[in-house]
Amino acid sequence: MNVFDLFLLATAAGLLFSKSLSHSIVLLGLEGMLLGAVEFFSGPPAWSTALIALATVAVKVTLIPGILWRLARSLPTNARTEQPLPLWAFAAALAAVLGTGHIIQMLEPSRLVLDVMAFFCALCTVWLGMVMVVARRHLLSQVTALVSIENGLMLVGVSLAGSLPGFIELGILADLAAAVTILAWMSHRIHAELRTTDVVALQSLKG
Give tens-digit pLDDT for 9-29. Answer: 999 999 999 989 999 999 999
Predicted TM-score (pTM) above 0.85: yes
Q: How far apart are CA 196 and CA 160, in angstroms?
A: 41
Concatenated DSSP letters for 122-181? HHHHHHHHHHHHHH--BHHHHHHHHHHHHHHHHHHHHHHHSS--HHHHHHHHHHHHHHHH
How does residue 108 score in pLDDT terms, banded at 50, 70 and 90? confident
User: Residues with Cβ < 8 Å from 182, sequence gap 6 or more?
Assistant: none
Count of structural domains, the chain = 1
Contact 129, 148 (CB under 8 A): yes
Contact 34, 7 (CB under 8 A): yes
User: Residues with Cβ < 8 Å from 121, sequence gap 6 or more?
Assistant: 2, 5, 6, 8, 9, 155
Domain residues for the domain of 157 are 2-205
Decide if pLDDT at 203 tops 90: no
DSSP secondary structure letter of residue 205: G
Concatenated DSSP letters for 25-76? HHHHHHHHHHHHHHHHHSSSS-HHHHHHHHHHHIIIIIIHHHHHHHHHHHS-
pLDDT at 205: 60
Cβ of 205: how many Cβ atoms within 10 Å?
8
How does residue 82 score in pLDDT terms, banded at 50, 70 and 90? confident
Q: How far apart are CA 71 and CA 188, in angstroms?
A: 7
